[in-house]
Amino acid sequence: MSPTSLMAVAVCEPPSDRVRSLAHLGSAVEVDHNVPVIRYFRSGKEMMRMADVYYEEHNYENAFILYSKFITIFVEKLPKHPQYKQSRPEDIKETKRKVKQAFPRAEDTKAKLKQKFEKEFRIWEERETQRLLEEEKLRKEQEKWDEQRRRKHEEEEEERRQLQEAKERSLREEQQRELEEQRRAILEEQQRAQQREEEEKRALAASAAAAAAAAAAAQAAGGAIPSATPPSIPPPSYDAVKAGGYSVYKPAEDYITPKPTASPVPPAVDRSLKVDRSTKPSNLLSSVPSSKNRYGMRDLFVPVDTVERFLSIANLNTAKNLETCGILAGKLSHDAFTITHIVVPKQTSTSDSCTAVNEGEIFDVMDKKDLITLGWIHTHPTQTAFMSSIDLHTHCPYQVMMAEAIAIVCAPAHNQTGYFSLTPDYGVNFISNCKEAGFHPHPSQPTIYEEGQHVKIASNVSIQMIDMR
């Protein structure tokens, strides 16, 4: 059947919603009417076998999905298949018996899932509460830190403002002192000039008095003496004072106090604070191991001696230029498949085809050993390792039933081996809907088949051969 990969259901969803999502995934399955109904009966047995394995491994999610798919297919879908009414009565009877087993197992698995999801939900709630508390604590610490930085910034701004005011005040006082000194110097010079002028006036007056006295004495002596005009000494002018090196007085209004310089712009302060969120709990997802291959399929392990052992029993046919085919069968364990057996059925062969006969015998042998069908293997005696159109149509039902199913093509003449599968996103649907028979061309693009991305060669297991010819 299609892969039982789980939906990425968030653990924070209510447990009932998670169970409902898995049930929806289990019911989302269709029956391909191009696939013989007998293959569905065969696949149903394998599906129940796989579901039981998952249940025993406590992988309840995949177990529940497979039980749900089994019920959906054999109760709702398969009875509408065109070949269903022609099915063997024993197959229908056996399927109905397994359906009766599937219902209680599905309910039991559902109960375990609900219990598991409730536990996970409680853990999530506790962690979410703790996470919110941690976030609130970090938020408060952030606010406290921001407030401290804000206050520090304000204090620094106030300190800068006070320093600037002190500088401006000191500058104004210095300018005022300089003005006062200039005023005193001018006043002192004016006073000295006034004193010199008064002294000169007194000297002139004394000289004039002396001359007058001399004239009077001469006249008294009887002789006329021509009068003499005393020399005129002009008073010192203001310009002379200025020329003497003294500054001219100017009123205080002529002096303009320098404007204070602009305050320096404080550097930008980074207010962001990165908070470590690494402790934030991640969602609790399914316990199912996630596949690392391209399509999310479960790994398929192929024993390293598979091709060698198969070519050994096919050697006689290969020498006659006849193909040989076999069924790949194996086990499921811990969400991975391992091919353990090659069942070689009775068959008819040509140089370019091989057809198994009496499939019922094959299934009986596989049921006795609790084996799961994982694909098929065949030889190309003279050609290279590739998938012909007939090979693709032969392989398609295997992959419709089991997404991980592969086709191993052995080309001994060219020493080539291919581990092929149809591309899940195109090839499976294209070949399922192709109605051509025999050898016919297929488009090369998009890619129809490719090397299996999920195939791994295992050296710790050996293949077992079951030759029914």
pLDDT tens sequence across 363-389: 889 989 999 999 999 999 999 999 999
pLDDT, position 359: 80
Do 127 and 79 lie in one domain? The reply is: yes
Whether 70 is covered by a domain: the verdict is yes
Residues 117 and 157 in one domain: yes
Most confident region among 56-60, 225-229, 289-293, 437-441 by mean pLDDT = 56-60
Q: Is residue 219 part of a domain?
A: no
Please indicate, yes or no, if residue 321 is contained in any of the structural domains.
yes
Judged against a pLDDT cut of 50, whether residue 393 lies above it is answered with yes
Domain match, 428 and 333 both? yes
Cα–Cα dist 151/276, whole Å: 25
pLDDT higher than threshold 50 for residue 242: no
Whether residue 439 sits in one domain with residue 398: yes
Residue 224 within any structural domain of the chain: no
Q: Please, are residues 13 and 287 in contact by the beta-carbon 8 Å criterion?
A: no
Residues 248, 268 within the same domain: yes
Domain of residue 370, CATH code: 3.40.140.10
In 2-133, which ranges are E strands? none
Are residues 168 and 29 part of one domain? yes
- At 10, the pLDDT band (50, 70, 90 cuts) reads low
Confirm whether 218 is domain-assigned. Answer: no
Structural domain of 108: 1-212+232-288
Measured from the Cβ of residue 99, the count of other Cβ atoms closer than 10 Å reads: 16
Banded model confidence at residue 3, pLDDT cuts 50, 70, 90: very low
Q: Are residues 252 and 312 in the same domain?
A: no
Q: What is the mean pLDDT of residues 51-78?
A: 93
Peptide bond into 446 cis (omega under 30): yes
- Residue where a domain terminates, one of 288, 316, 333: 288
Residue 375 and residue 243 share a domain: no
Is the separation of the CB atoms in 162 and 238 below 8 Å?
no
If asked whether residues 32 and 132 sit together in one domain, one would say: yes
| Residue 278 pLDDT greater than 70, yes or no | no
Q: Which pLDDT score, from 0 to 100, does residue 290 have?
A: 44
What CATH number corresponds to the domain at position 46? 1.20.58.80
Predicted local distance difference test score (pLDDT) of residue 42: 87
Read off the pLDDT of each residue in 307-332 and give the average, rounded to a whole number.
95
Q: Work out how many domains the chain is built from and give that number.
A: 2
**Confidence tier at 442 by pLDDT (50, 70, 90):** confident
pTM of the model: 0.62
Q: Does 283 share its domain with 305?
A: no
Q: Are residues 136 and 255 in the same domain?
A: yes
| 50 and 152 belong to one structural domain | yes
Distance in angstroms (rounded) separating the CA atoms of residues 110 and 409: 42
